[in-house]
Structure 1
Amino acid sequence: MSAAFVAAAAMVAAGVQAGTAGAAPGTAASAGAAAASPAQRTALISAAQDGSGATARSLGLGTQERLVARDVVKDADGTVHTRYDRTYAGLPVLGGDLVVHVKGDRRTVTKATSRSIAVPSTTPKVPATTAQRTALAHASDASLARPAQDTVRKVVWAASGKPVLAWESVVTGTQKDGTPSQLHVITDATSGKKLYAFDGIETGTGTGQYNGRVTIGTTKSGSSYQMRDNTRGGHQTTDLRQGSSGSGTLFTNSSDVWGNGSASNRQTAAVDAHYGAQETWDFYKQTFGRNGIRNDGVASYSRVHYGNSYVNAFWDDSCFCMTYGDGQGNTHPLTSLDVAGHEMTHGVTSATAGLEYSGESGGLNEATSDIFATGVEFFAKNPNNPGNYLIGEKIDINGNGTPLRYMDQPSKDGASLDYWSPDAGGVDVHYSSGIANHYFYLLSEGSGTKTINGVTYDSPTYDGSSVPGIGRDKALAVWYKALTTYMTSTTDYAAARQATLQAAADLYGSGSTEYKVVGDTWTAVNVA
């Protein structure tokens, strides 16, 4: 390792004190991360960027390649994990992200691609207008598909196959169910062939009016109150008044008593959304030491009453916000606790691994939101919405009282995958997520029949084996560690297995029971 790289890593490592020894499972220290304040995190990233040239040289990157520091995590044992995006000749390299892990004088690297980044020319043969037409054709199933201005950029596409010069077009519009669309289409800038597509809007489902009477963070302003939580980064909840654009109107009230549990009271949905954001913030902070979605102490915001009879909810990175519809007939706002946890976690994933929302990485993205939404439910200990391994259990979207998804046996919903197969990458991400959801349940609770909080589960395995589980707190710690330090934008199920094994080794040791069970549980869902 070069002296310059060691110096840069040392400068980063010096910025955060180690975590507390002997912490209980599931706490920030036991999860392997030493908590940093927003100011410390900013300083760490700045130091990493200052040393990025030396880091690039030590990794043997080409002369036209540059690293852009995006995040730094320091473990309690002093290991520093620095996440970088990459550019080539000044162009963004999609699928070129990497994480450098430094412990003492030992360095390892996790890359989204193992291929060298180089293209014969940065001059496209296919014009941007042709790429836009290709993107529009691909977006033909959107009801209002049209390109916005300044939504085509030249990039190097490295997420699949040999790196090529490409155009990234973003087609904005509205999907048939009313969900906004930000469809990213990657087009080869030499041949004009479509290479890849994914939607930037990440969706989920849930329900409202089920949290009961709760305490929420508000702010007094003059003689009235605002639904603004200054203790949690300034999170606020706004009313879209059935609109589908804009930031909405901040909820205010003459007293600090909000809603009445009925959908006819517009504040009711706001209470559930605000409470869900609050519990999700606290879950990440108290469990992992994470200070907000981007770990920078800044809150997102929630918009309720989106559209007319809109039966969905979604996270949007472009506004850094969560949005909730009011459900069929505008009578069942989709503002349940698991929805809030699910949507905010899409933001966490975007800020860390950046898992592409398509193929196997898209399934892992969706599963990550389900996994931590489940963690939020158990964390909140709300008697009106006790923790379980069911997703969307209160919405009754099927009309027969069944949940949207089952983590113990995902195929019970009629579409989700219990186990990995070579076809998993071609399945809708909400259904390929079943593999990781099943894995998480088995890792938490083990196989076989059991009853938890009044819900009975019976989880099978691919090979008929029995797996014991390591407990939910440890399973969450392993997944968070893997997500934030070892997964990249292109991580698939095989790579997720390796990421969680490395996370388990970091947290509990490579000879530990936890490490062995992590591996055995992946085998139990047919991921080798």
Structure 2
Amino acid sequence: MRLVASSPRKNSSRTHAARLAALVASAAMVVVGVQAPLAGAQSGTDRASGATALPLTPGQRAEAIASAQADSAAEAEALGLGAREKLVVRDVVEDADGTVHTRYERTYAGLPVLGGDLVVHQAPSGTRGVTRATDARIAVAGTDAEVGPASAKHTALKAAAAERTADATAGSARKVVWAASGTPVLAWETVVKGVQADGTPSELHVVTDATTGKELFRDEAIHTGTGTGDYNGTVTLGTTKSGSTYNLTDSGRGNHKTYDLNQRTSGTGTLFTDADDVWGGGRQSAGVDAHYGAAETWDFFKNVLGRNGIKNNGVASYSRTHYGNSYVNAFWDDSCFCMTYGDGSGNANPLTSIDVAAHEMSHGVTSNTADLNYSGESGGLNEATSDIFATAVEFYSGTPSDPGDYLIGEKIDINGDGTPLRYQDKPSKDGASKDYWSSGLGGIDVHYSSGPANHFFYLLSEGSGAKTINGVSYNSPTSDGSKVTGIGRDKAIKIWYKALTTYMTSTTNYARARTATLSAAGDLYGTSSAEYKAVGAAWTAINVK
């Protein structure tokens, strides 16, 4: 990653920035019930929240992206990209102070460049900065592969076998440029679908060198998490009446729907229906909890962070419950844009808690922003991001039967002794997660390499040492014995969200996450603020310096 501030340029990026500013201004006339943006940059804790000034309607957001795409050729030239490189706009975000962040994917000779993504930051003054997933010059000797797609598929199937993927089938290999690590090379990307060892679907992306045939990278696209259901109590649901019956369609939240898979492992399932709109009992209970968790997560992202749905376009994902037989997990799947929940051991305990819903939906947010690779240190940051947002949603929800805490999966008894799956104050208490960064962190399972980032978030929010919050006792250590003073969870989550959406890229590791969150804290609160200093102190406390 590189963040480079340069002198003001007169180029087309300022044009689409101006167009977006006009769209934001027009949004004020059509969006109801959203707090007005702060007028200009301010100092201290009253600066902008990091969300867009006002959420755009789906049409306005599409127009902003189209405007940026129309200017992409001039932007590529301004960035000094080669003649064979083009930029493809993924997202456009504007801060309340008018700074525009445009996220791009990159192509080379018409081929996707994996690890070539970048974000251009344009301030109203014209000052520009760039965050890049790679500093390498994108160029390959040629685009004719010496190793063919059949060989790439064979290598991909071997990778799937190593991951213990059952019923593996490889799709067509697509030619790409691999730039996420080392010198860019011509490569093949093959997607192998099957079933993971625990029954979770698998969509393994395998990248192989098109010259040597060597495997370069593998990345599981189905992102998993855990939790339990049937414990939210009596809650309010968004439902829709159709004829004489009601169904679990939440028209107030992008038409989110919740389905019953009836123990199947494919398809959408059957939409939950009820005669009198009084839900619960039997198979409905899992549907109620999943539907409620999705609503709470939607409301958190919209009301706290200004994000209008997972893709920020007002369109909902959907939920599938009662997946498989005795499936003890839940997962997010980009290909269906949905969350899926198992029923636990013996199909007796559906995994449909608030923190599970928030964890899985947050994988979707990550996928549609920084798109952190689900491998190595970036994979740990990906998992930590879902845990971090799950914690924030749980506190935001304030559901009496599930008060907010810094424990992940605390309502389940998967361990058999009443302990949670993960602890954010001291991750190593789960027996596998790491408290601090070390050079070998990227080599362990992403659910455990998430530990240091979870620990960072706890320290930034609450500080080090012993304390009790909502009846739960915590005692968070630091790697160097330093004392960290927290800035509060509300500020910490806004810093993490801004870093994710405007400064992190697909290859962000722990060191770059420190840079990204410092940049975010500087934008929000100023580089001389207590918040900025606390971010640095929290990273140092987990050995990221």
Normalised to the residue count of structure 1, the TM-score between the two structures is: 0.97
| Secondary structure of 1:185 counterpart | strand
Q: C-alpha displacement at 1:27, in angstroms?
A: 11
1:242 counterpart SS class: coil
Against the structure 1 CA distance between its residues 354 and 277, is the aligned structure 2 distance closer, same or farther, given a 3 Å change threshold?
same
- Which of 127, 131, 141 in structure 1 is aligned with 2:152? 131
Q: RMSD value over aligned CA atoms?
A: 1.5
Q: Do 1:311 and 1:327's aligned partners in 2 also have CA atoms closer than 8 Å?
A: yes
Q: Does 1:512 align with 2:532?
A: no
Residue 64 of structure 2: aligned partner: 44
Q: What is the deviation of 1:10?
A: 2.9
Q: Work out which of the residue numbers 85, 97, 109 in structure 2 matches 1:65.
A: 85
Identify the residue that residue 321 of structure 1 maps to in structure 2.
338
Query: For 1:357 and 1:135, how far apart are their aligned partners in 2?
Result: 17
Rounded Cα–Cα distance in structure 2 between residues aligned with 1:37 and 1:479:
24
**Aligned mates of 1:27, 1:283 — CA distance in 2:** 20
1:302 match? 319
Q: Choose the corresponding residue for 2:216, options 182, 189, 195.
A: 195
| DSSP 3-state at the match of 2:166 | coil
Instruction: Report the residue type matching 2:116 in the other structure.
Output: G
TM-aligned CA deviation for residue 463 of structure 1: 0.5
The reply to whether residue 312 of structure 1 matches residue 329 of structure 2 is yes
Amino acid at match of 1:376: V
Distance 1:360 1:453, change over 3 A: same
Aligned to 1:356: 373
Q: Which of 273, 298, 303 lines up with 2:290 in the alignment? A: 273
1:311-341 CA distance string (max 9 Å, x none): 0000000000000000001111000000000
Structure 1: distance between partners of 2:268 and 2:523? 42
User: Structure 1 regions of 5+ residues with no counterpart?
Assistant: none
Q: Which residue of 1 aligns with 2:17?
A: 9
Confirm whether residue 469 of structure 1 aligns to residue 486 of structure 2.
Answer: yes
Q: Equivalents in 1 of 2:386, 2:230: separation in Å?
A: 21
Distance 1:315 1:32 in 2: 24
Asked whether 1:288 is paired with 2:310, we answer: no
Q: Retained in 1: the 8 A contact 2:463–2:483? A: yes
CA shift, 1:34, in A, is 1.4
Deviation at 1:32, TM superposition (A): 4.4
Distance in 1 between residues matched to 2:12 and 2:317, nearest whole Å: 38
Q: For residues 481-512 of structure 1, what are the alpha-carbon distances to aligned partners after superposition, in whole Å with 9 as ceiling and x for unaligned?
A: 00000000000000000000000000000010
C-alpha distance in 1, partners of 2:180/2:167? 25
Q: 1:406 to 1:387 in 2, by over 3 A?
A: same
Does 2:458 align with 1:441? Answer: yes
Query: What's the offset of the Cα at 1:253?
Result: 1.1
Where do residues 74-473 of structure 1 align in structure 2 (5 Å cutoff)? 74-103=94-123, 104-140=125-161, 141-150=163-172, 152-260=173-281, 265-473=282-490
Q: How does 1:28-43 map to 2 (within 5 A)?
A: 29-35=48-54, 36-43=56-63
Contact 1:313 1:324 in 2 (8 A): yes
* 1:181-217 Cα deviation digits (max 9, x unpaired): 0011100000001000010000000010111111110
Secondary structure of 1:147's counterpart equals strand
Cα–Cα, structure 1 residues 377 and 208, in superposed 2: closer, same or farther, change >3 Å? same
CA contact (8 A) 2:13 2:68 kept: no
| Residue 7 of structure 1, CA deviation | 3.0
Shift of 1:142: 3.0
Decide whether aligned partners of structure 1 residues 372 and 253 sit closer, same or farther in structure 2, where only a CA change above 3 A counts: same
Instruction: Decide whether the 8 Å contact of 1:468 with 1:517 is kept in 2.
Output: yes
Distance 2:87 2:200 in 1: 35
- Cα distance, 1:138–1:3 mapped onto 2, change above 3 Å: closer
CA contact (8 A) 1:203 1:314 kept: yes
Q: What is the number of equivalent residue pairs in this alignment?
A: 522
Query: Residue by residue, what CA displacement relative to the aligned partner does 1:381-427 show, whole Å, maximum 9, x if unpaired?
Result: 00000000000011111000000000000000000010000001101
Shift, 1:145, TM fit: 4.0
What secondary structure sits across from 1:14 in the alignment?
helix
Contact 1:209-1:335 within 8 A present in 2 as well: yes
Gaps of 5+ in 2: 1-8, 29-35
| Contact 1:478/1:503 (<8 A) preserved | yes
| Inter-partner Cα distance in structure 2 for 1:112 and 1:202 | 22
With structure 2 as the length reference, what TM-score do the two structures score? 0.94
Tell whether the 8 Å contact from 1:29 to 1:288 is kept in structure 2 after alignment: no
Letter in 2 for 1:427: I
Secondary structure (helix, strand or coil) at the match of 1:395 reads coil
Q: Distance in 2 between matches of 1:27 and 1:405?
A: 33
Q: Note closer, same or farther for the CA distance 1:247–1:182 as it changes in structure 2 (3 Å cut).
A: same
User: Are the counterparts in 2 of residues 184 and 199 from structure 1 also a CA contact under 8 Å?
Assistant: yes
Q: Which amino acid aligns with 1:144?
A: A
SS where residue 23 of structure 2 aligns? coil
